[in-house]
Amino acid sequence: MEYFLSIVVPVYNEENRIKKTLEKIVDYFSNKKIKYEIILVNDGSTDNTGEIINEFKDKLDNNESNCTISIIDNKRNTGKGFSVRSGVLTSKGKYILFSDADLSTPIEEVEHLLFYLKDSFNIAIGSRSLKESKIIIRQNKVRESMGKFFNFLVRKITSLKYIDTQCGFKIFDRKAIDSIFPYLKIDDFSFDVEILYLAEKFGLKVKEVPIHWLNS
């Protein structure tokens, strides 16, 4: 593999925070002795997101770094599922993480998920709902209740056992990527459920991992 880690970040109208997010990621990995890539998928943003990420990429390209940034531009807003899928399918890492652009799950949490991939699991998913999870800033009660109800329905309909399917912080080994992502069809937010359903169907090992999380 060309990279140890690929980080896929879907972005849509994130002009107010994407630069800070990228700075946090690059700063965190600056003292790590790994080669990694960030794949930004601009999902038809209508603000200045495109200009900001291209400027950040150009600046990084002009400095010695263990990071490479690539950008995929969707001509129109196609959905988070489509954007994550297109980014993942271009990735070249041994391990592939996708993360929300707001870093509600701090990038430092990647170490906790990677631990399980190095210990024979194919997929590790961040969870806000396990007993050991630490929610630093909560969602409002309506959104939190809707999320819990959605996950309840998922467990009832699909028989999946996971408490939190929707956390935007998941990591995969190359076997999981090659087994699942070419077959994904869902383009919207519910693509996470499709990933976990196919993982179970194909006999992949999945670990749900408690994380620190803050609503952004």
- pLDDT, position 178: 98
Cβ(127)–Cβ(163) under 8 Å?
Answer: yes
- For residue 35, being part of any structural domain is answered with yes
Residue 144 located in a structural domain: no
Q: Please tell me the total count of domains within the chain.
A: 1
> What per-residue confidence (pLDDT) applies to 65?
86
CATH of the domain at 83: 3.90.550.10
Please give the Cα distance from 21 to 8 (Å, whole number). 13
202 is in which domain, residue-wise? 3-128+167-209
Rounded CA separation 22/40 (Å): 10
Q: Is residue 138 part of a domain?
A: no
What is the model's pLDDT at position 211? 95
37, part of any domain = yes
Instruction: For residue 153, tell me if it sits in a domain.
Output: no
Which candidate, 98, 128, 107, 97, places its Cα nearest to that of 30?
A: 107
In a domain, 175, yes or no: yes
Instruction: Evaluate whether residue 150 is within a structural domain.
Output: no
pLDDT block averages, 10 residues each, the chain of length 216: 93 98 97 96 98 97 91 97 98 98 96 95 93 70 67 73 92 98 94 95 97 80
Q: Taking Cα atoms as reference points, which of 208, 172, 206, 184 lies closest to residue 82?
A: 184
Beta strands 93-99; 169-173: pairing state: antiparallel
Does residue 18 lie in a domain region?
A: yes
